[in-house]
Amino acid sequence: MEKTLPLTVEYKPRPAQNRRTTWLKNVVLCVSVAAVIVLWTHRPIFEVIGIQNGEHHVSKSSKSPSQCAQPDALFPPSDNEALEKMWEFLSTPEFEKASIERHSGAVKIPTQSFDDLGEIGEDKRWDVMYPFAEYLEKTFPHVHKDLKLEKINTHGLLYTWEGSNKDLKPLLLMAHQDVVPVPAATVDSWTYPPFSGYFDGKSIWGRGSSDCKNQLIAIMETVELLLDAGFEPKRTIVLSFGFDEEISGGQGAATLAPAILERYGKNGIAAIVDEGANFVNAWGSVIAVPGVGEKGYTDVQVVVRMPGGHSSIPSDHTSIGVISEIITAIESEQYPTFLVEENPFLGLLQCGASHSPDFPKKVKKLLGKHKPSTCQAKSDQLALEVAKMGPATKYLMQTSQAVDVIQGGVKNNALPERASVTINHRINIGDKPETAWKRITKIAKHVAKKHNLTLHAFDGTKEAPGSISISASKETLDVAPVTPTVIDGSANPFSVLAGTTRAIYGEEIIVAPGIMTGNTDTRYYWDLTKHIFRFGPGYDPDDESGLGNIHTVDERVSVRNHFNAVKWFTLFVRNMDGAEME
C-alpha cells in the first residue's frame, strides 16, 4: 500500500425501501453488540486539522450541514526514510505472518482473573501473569531493552519511553493483561480450544483475542517497530497494562494510576487511549465511535431482618415476602428518560442528522426543537421517541436498574430470618448515584412503616432484627467526566485521533465520540487528563462478529482488524508527537 493512500473501506448502504425499520435494526444491533454508543458535541466548528504535502497544517473545513464537521485525514511528515519503510512493511506478508504469531502466542497464555481472587502472593492463581510478562519480554526485545519497565504491585506493567522535550505532556496507552474465565462446562462448545490461539486463515480464536490482548499486542508491536526504525519521540510515551480489569481493577489499575499521577501530576498527561468502542453501521453510514465518557455505577443492597420460627406456625409476612414487596415497588417504575446537553448520545443524533442518508425525519425534526433538561415534570419528547428503538438505546438516556442477586431462607420448614437483594444501576448522564439511593430509601421507608420495621438507610448501622438496612457498594462511581471534542483549528487530542482514523480507513468514515455503558480501567485515571478515549481502533468491514463474541464462547478477532490496529497506533503516536500542543 502506498504510504500516502488510506486503506479505504468499501461500504454498501442497505436497501432504503424501509429506512425506519433498517435504521432501528442497525442501531439496536450495533449498540447491543458493542455495548457502546456515540456522540458528536454540538459546538460551532469552522476549521479542522488537515494534511498537505506531508506536513501538519490547519485547513478550512468544507461547510457542514450542521455542527458535525469532520477533520481531514492526518499523516505525519514523510521526511524519514526509515519510518516510511517501516510503514510500508506493515502491509507485507512478512509482517502479517509475524504479527499473527505474536498475537496467537499471547492468547495461548490463560491469564484469567476470577471474582474471588485473594491477595497477590497468597493466591497462586495470580501466578499465570508471570509467564505472560515473560512472553512479552521475549517477543518484544527492543521494548524491554530501550524502555524503562516498572512492575507495580507485582503484575502491573508500566513502560516509559522518555521523549526529548520535557515540556510536552506524555501520551498514555493502556490495555489489560487479564481475560474473563472460561467456564469448564463451556469448553466443548468452542469451535477451537479457548486458549489455542488458533488461526483459521482469517481470525485468531481464543479468550482474550479481542478483549483485549489484541490491543495490548498492537501497542507493543507499534513501539517495537518504531524503535527498530530509529524513531525518537519528542513526547514521552507511557504504556500502562493492568492485570485485573475484568474484576474491576482493584489491584491493577488502582495501583498503576496513583504511580503515574505521583510522577506527572494532575492533568499531567496529554491523552489516554484504552480499550473501548470501535465501529458501527448506522443510518447508512460507517461510524468510528471512540468512547469519551462512561455512565455511572452503583449497586444497592437491601437487607430485611425478621423473626424466624417454625413454618407450621408462620407469621403473616416473612422477610422474603417483605423484600418481595420492595422489589415489586422498585420494578413498577423506571427512571425518567431524558437527554441533557452533556450526554454523548445527543451529539450522535446530531451527527447522524448531518451525515447519514437514512436518518429518520421525525427524529431530525424533534432534534431541531430539543431543549436539554433534567426536569422530570416535562417529558423529553426526543428521548422518548428515540427510546422506541429498544432497551439498548433507551438506557443510553436513562438510569438502569436490574435486580440481579436475591438470597433468603435456608430450610423449607424454617421461617427466613434474613433476606437480601442487590440492585445494579448504571447512572444516566445528568443523574447521580444518590438519585437511586433516595428512590430506594423512599420505597423502603413505606414498606418499613407498613410492617413496623426500623429503617437504616446508608447510615452504616449493622443489620439488626426487625429492620430494613440499605447500603451501597464501594465500587460506586459518578458519571465519568466527558472528554472535550471541539475542533477549533488548533491541534487537540480528539482532532488528532479523528484525523488518524480517517487516514487509515478513508474519509467516508464518520468519527463521532461515544459513551460507554460499562466501565474500563480508565475509572482510576480521571485525574491524569481531560482527554480519555476508550477506543478499539482496529476495523475489518468484512467481519460481522464485531464485539459480539467477547466474554462468551468462540471469542475471536480478524487479523485484518489486528493489522489495522497496529497501523492506527503507529500513525497516532507519530501524529501526537508532531502535534503542536502541550
Which residue ranges are tagged as binding site for Zn(2+)? 176, 211, 246, 274, 551
∠ at Cα 572 (566, 574), nearest 5°?
Answer: 105
How do the residues of the chain divide into helix, strand and coil, expressed in percent and rounded to 5? Answer: 35, 20, 45
Of 300, 207, 297, the closest CA to residue 552 belongs to 207
Q: Is-catalytic flag, 245?
A: yes
DSSP letter string, 489-554: SS--HHHHHHHHHHHHH-TTSEE--EEESS--GGGG-GGG-S-EEEE-----TT---TTTTTTSTT
DSSP letter string, 282-299: ETTEEEE--EEEE-EEEE
DSSP letter string, 164-209: S-TTSPPEEEEEES-B----GGGGGGSSS-TTS--B-SSEEESTTT
> Is the previous residue joined to 375 through a cis bond, with omega within 30 degrees of 0?
no
How many Cβ atoms from other residues are within 10 Å of residue 148's Cβ?
Answer: 11
Active-site residue identified among 72, 178, 540, 555 = 178
Radius of gyration of the chain (CA): 25
**HSE of 144, CA atoms in CB hemisphere, 13 A:** 11
Q: Is-catalytic flag, 275?
A: no
SS3 letters across 338-386: CCCCCCHHHHHHHHHHHHCCCCCHHHHHHHHHCCCCCCCCCCCHHHHHH
Beta pairing class for 514-516 and 36-38: antiparallel
Distance CA 261, CA 544 (A): 39
Dig out the grid coordinates for 155 from the structure: 503484575
DSSP letter at 309 equals -
Active-site residue identified among 72, 224, 245, 275 = 245
Residues in contact with 557: Cβ distance below 8 Å, sequence separation at least 6, in sequence order: 103, 203, 204, 209, 210, 214, 538
Q: Which residues are catalytic?
A: 178, 245
